[in-house]
Structure 1
Amino acid sequence: MTLPLPALIAIGVAGLGLLLLLIIRFRMQAFYALILVSIVVGLAAGLPLKTIPASGDDPERLGIIEAIIAGVGGTLGSVAVLVALGSMLGKIIELSGGAEALAGRFTSWLGPKRVGIALVIAAGILAIPVFFDAGFIILVPIIFAFSKVAGLNPIKFGLPVAGIMLAVHVAVPPHPGIVGGATILGADIGWVTVFALAVSVPLAVLSYLVAKVINRREYAMIEATRELFAEFGSEEASANVGLRDGEKAPGAFTVLALILLPLLLIMLGTAVAPVFEAGSFWNGFLSMIGQPIFALMVAIAAAMFFLGVRRGWSAAKLGEVMESALPGAAVIILVTGAGGAFGRILTETGIGGAVAEVLVSSGLPLLLAAFLISLVMRAAQGSATVAISTTAGLMVPAVAALGLDPLHTALVAVAIGYGGLGLSHVNDSGFWVVTRYLGLSVKDGLRTWTPLTTVLGVAGFLLTWVLYAAIPMG
């Protein structure tokens, strides 16, 4: 028996409220909280306790647990592989000294007067394969080194660097939040990559300019960071930071090529393969190499050789580096799968359809609703991955009801990603990473980092909306 629309909406809102309460107030682990709330919502909305087989004109009705299993399995089919492979590629680049090489090269190209711009460009590229927290921490010694040479507070260089790195992290595959959200929505990862990269370029410029305005004011450095910064030796910090046992950093061009290689392959599959006739060799070949999983496999193989074997890493060390990427990725993979389970429950109960009906009747544009829901979820519980996955689950019925083509479905996913960028504050681990390394108090972090992420999130959404409106619906 289907509940009335107001009752379904009320159950959905109560479910979201319970999820936020468990995560924020009771500090419950996000994976467990999502599965628990999925069960509660399923029970409240009247899903059967056990799957009811189809009979006559009545379709099969999944039971609560079966729906959760289907949601997790459907989401993780590709997400788990993508996130694991992306983590491995990022870890190889991270531990090889590639970040230092990239930052140093861009600085030498643009000159000492444009160090800030060079670091933003290098950070934006590095952020594609490397997770935000790890990538920013890798660049901190470089930020400190240039800041000491220039006689500036590290926030001058560090704030715009952190801004563009987080903007890339929430919207560009293979990062887990956007991969999970796109998979839940059924969006093409290739188009998501193309659109998110296109939007990231102006966001890099905006991060630099907005941070420059914010930095007109001087901010006192907290004592712990002041001591760390005072003891930091610029010569040692700027030379092969993080390398061990006499290793030398790889060439910047090598690192750049390894980061761009999977993106190039994905774009070939997305934009070039359709030019050839379906069923032809070139259509099939380009489609295969353009699959994100295949593209990342190729990039990892190249990284293993050029950053590992060629530079003297033993097979054992290479294996250890790649293995070290998996524990952190595992938690993210599970949370993403739980987000898929929650989305499946919302679909099976009819709550997602009720949300879609309300959106259509209210006149609120789908893209705006997707962005706002993600933004509110991000502000409420802190995790961009949880915000993106949960919002994607909510928007599935609306996207299906409108019959969006692959390009516009991908843009919905990107808009949800940028919702997960804004309003970073004290419940976000990234907030603490940035503020502590840059020496900001909580009050100053809310004056600087929170506005910067919000401006970038809104700008990313508006640029996505322009693309959504400009591209004809297929």
Structure 2
Amino acid sequence: MPTPLLLAIGAAGIALLLVLIVRFKVNAFLALLITSVLVGLATGVPLANVPATETTPERLGIIPAIIAGMGGTLGSVAILVALGSMLGRIIELSGGASSLAGRFTKLLGPRRVSGALTAAALVLAIPVFFDVGFIILVPIVYGFSHAAGLNPVKFGLPIAGIMLAVHVAVPPHPGIVGGAALLGADVGWLTILGILIAIPLGVLAHFVSKVLNRREYPMLASTKEMFDAFGGGDEVDAAGASAAKTATKTLAPPSAGMILTLIITPLVMIGLGTTAATLLPADSALRAVLGFIGAPVFALLVTVVLAGYFLGIRRGWSAAHLSDVFEGALPPAAIVILVTGAGGAFARILTESGIGKALADTLLATGLPIILMAFLVSLALRAAQGSATVAILTTAGLLSSAITGGGYSSLQIVVIALAIAFGALGLSHVNDSGFWVVTRYLGLSVSDGLRSWTVLTTVLGVAGFLITSVIWLVVSAAA
């Protein structure tokens, strides 16, 4: 199919999705699936799988591609969202979130809480994947928001922004590590420069979010139900959460230190796993053990079990009572899981249709300077198919021959890799599973998510590229 037609269909598909959700209020899960089918039909994705031949690879049909996209996304997100919701629920019902929020608010003062949380998120994001880290920090965001009487987007927006910036630009995260391997970039320098650039981006995320938060964003009903329940309201849910709150009122709340320990536990475990994978040889038995311990699903599972004991059983809850609390966390989590999975399905259709490659090929034909081209190709791929990791890897693959054969120094290649990374940071929107995780947990509608989260990620991406460009000029002058 001609490139202009592919690009037009891609733009029309995204526009249709926005119109369905924003104008006609179609459920986001259904709108994503409907648009996926229509884009697949319009771009000639086969109705059924086409077997591979000697000259062509296998092509997935529309429905198999949707299933593969949703399954691939849910495989990494569903368990984490469910366990994270359970952890948040028991922290809230035990009184732990209020205890922690009150303690830190008293120590730091209400005006400094957002900045302190953003700085902590920057550090915690280095060893932890974006969606995992954000889900783990949601209970803290909700707790501080209740203590301050604010919408959770006030604290959650800058936290999510800096965590995503670190995720795309700092090893050991998969996109930048894979991109470095394709380009032959030095991972040590990449880590140093990535963290140095992330620091001013953290400051920028804090202040840009303050500007964006001057607007009041009405909270989605599904998120409001979860947020109100987290705050200790008197509503009765299907799992008997009201009874849990009543029982908890007779107990002293757990200490802030206990809650902070539970929040840090999975982060430390995950950090051990990623450090072992970086420093230890592939055949090391210790690396295998630490990799298992540091798997995000296992780390969160262990933490939920510990929370169940220390915040529940040890404080007098029965096993049945604890089971009800955990069960009550799952219905709101299911909404986040399904919409996130549908976003992955839409992204897979865009990839199978060739729309992403068409965008990249169009930019490559312009003859732009290599660092600007790296940023724009990655940004275009990010906008087209949603995944920052895929955008980084695809761009690095497309440009690898030009970069490795272009006579660039080691530091120049590192800077080009960072330009690719910051291109993948911007334009997070409806085809990005991270967009749905952030907006659903913070209670943002699609239109409000585009006004806030999409704007923030794009500002951070452009700012990261501008800093990278300055470094490029310095490194090139010294070469």
Class of the TM-score when normalised by the shorter of the 2 chains: 0.5 to 0.7
For residues 194 and 80 of structure 2, what CA distance do their matches in structure 1 show?
17
Query: How high is the TM-score relative to the length of structure 2?
Result: 0.65
Give the RMSD, CA atoms, in angstroms. Answer: 5.0
Deviates more, 1:6-15 or 1:73-82: 73-82
1:27-86 Cα offsets, whole Å, 9 max, x none, are: 111111111111111111112222222234333222111211121122222221122122
Corresponding residue for residue 167 of structure 2: none
**Aligned residue in 2 for 1:323:** 327
Partner of 1:276: 280
Q: Which residue of 2 aligns with 1:163?
A: 154
Deviation at 1:284, TM superposition (A): 0.9
Q: How far is 1:212 from its partner? A: 8.3
Unaligned runs of 5+ residues in structure 2 are 122-132, 165-172, 180-186, 217-231, 234-244, 404-412, 430-434
Q: Which residue of structure 1 aligns with residue 99 of structure 2?
A: 101
Residue pairs, 1:402-417, within 5 angstroms: 402=399
Check whether the contact 2:388–2:425 (CA below 8 A) recurs between aligned residues: no
Q: Which residue of 2 aligns with 1:223?
A: none
Instruction: Determine the C-alpha separation between the residues in 1 that align with 2:316 and 2:416.
Output: 46
**SS of match in other structure, 1:116:** coil
Is 1:294 the counterpart of 2:285 in the alignment? no
With over 3 angstroms needed to count, the CA separation of the structure-2 counterparts of 1:136 and 1:347, relative to structure 1, is: closer
Alpha carbons 2:276, 2:290 under 8 Å: kept? yes
Corresponding residue of 2:18: 20
Which digits, 9 at most, give the CA deviation of each residue in 1:240-286, with x for residues without a partner?
xx774312221111111111111111111112333122111111112
* 1:121 correspondence with 2:116: yes
* Residue of structure 2 aligned with 1:81, choices 79, 82, 90: 79
Specify the alignment match of 1:458 in structure 2. Answer: 459
Out of 123, 136, 144, which is 1:139 matched to? 144
The answer to whether the 8 Å contact 1:71/1:344 transfers is yes
Paired residue for 2:7? 9
Question: Deviation digits for residues 181-232 of structure 1, max 9, x if unmatched?
Answer: x9999989xx9xx9999988766756766788999x9x99xxxxxxxxxxxx
Match of 1:154 in 2: none
Aligned partner of 2:70 in structure 1 is 72
Q: Report the count of equivalent residues.
A: 393
Contact 2:48 2:61 in 1 (8 A): yes
- Aligned AA for 1:276? L
- Structure 1 counterpart of 2:45, one-letter code: L
The answer for the alignment partner of 1:342 in structure 2 is: 346
Deviation at 1:467, TM superposition (A): 7.8
| 2: CA distance, partners of 1:322 / 1:106 | 26
Q: Normalization by structure 1: what TM-score?
A: 0.65
Relative distance call for 1:402 and 1:455 in structure 2 (3 A) is same
Partner of 1:61: 59
* Whole-angstrom distance in 1 between the partners of 2:336 and 2:461: 24
- Matched AA of 1:277: P
* Counterparts of 2:415 and 2:86, CA distance in 1: 29
Match of 1:250 in 2: 254
Q: Is 2:336 the counterpart of 1:332?
A: yes
Give the aligned residue type for 1:163: K
Shift of 1:317: 2.2
Aligned to 2:90: 92
Shift, 1:296, TM fit: 1.0
Letter in 2 for 1:256: L
Tell me the secondary structure at the aligned position of residue 59 of structure 2. Answer: coil
For residues 186 and 125 of structure 1, do their structure 2 counterparts lie closer, same or farther at Cα, with a shift above 3 Å needed? Answer: closer
Distance 1:461 1:258 in 2: 36
Distance 1:164 1:27, change over 3 A: same
2:226 matched to which residue of 1? none
* Aligned twin of 1:401: 398
> What's the offset of the Cα at 1:366?
4.9
Question: Against the structure 1 CA distance between its residues 201 and 84, is the aligned structure 2 distance closer, same or farther, given a 3 Å change threshold?
Answer: farther
Amino acid at match of 1:352: G
Matches of 1:46 and 1:298, distance apart in 2: 46
Q: Is 1:259 aligned with 2:259?
A: no
Q: Percent identity?
A: 39
Q: Distance in 2 between matches of 1:105 and 1:140?
A: 13
1:391 CA displacement? 7.3
CA distance in 2 between counterparts of 1:45 and 1:302 reads 50
Residue 309, structure 1, aligned to residue 307, structure 2: no
What is the aligned counterpart of 1:356 among 333, 351, 360?
360
Q: Can you list the C-alpha shifts for 1:283-321, whole angstroms capped at 9, x where unaligned?
A: 111222121111111211221112222222221222122
Q: For the Cα contact (< 8 Å) 1:163–1:207, is it kept in 2?
A: no
Structure 1: stretches of 5+ with no match in the other structure = 145-157, 174-181, 221-235, 378-386, 435-444
Contact 2:351–2:385 (8 Å) recurs in 1: no
Using a 3 Å threshold, how does the CA distance of structure 1 residues 62 and 456 change in structure 2: closer, same or farther?
closer
| CA deviations over 1:153-183 (Å, ceiling 9, x no partner) | xxxxx58x8434222245649xxxxxxxx99
Amino acid of the structure 1 residue aligned with 2:282: A
Cα distance in 2 for partners of 1:313, 1:356 equals: 57
CA distance in 1, matches of 2:305, 2:376: 40
Residue identity in the other structure for 2:159: V
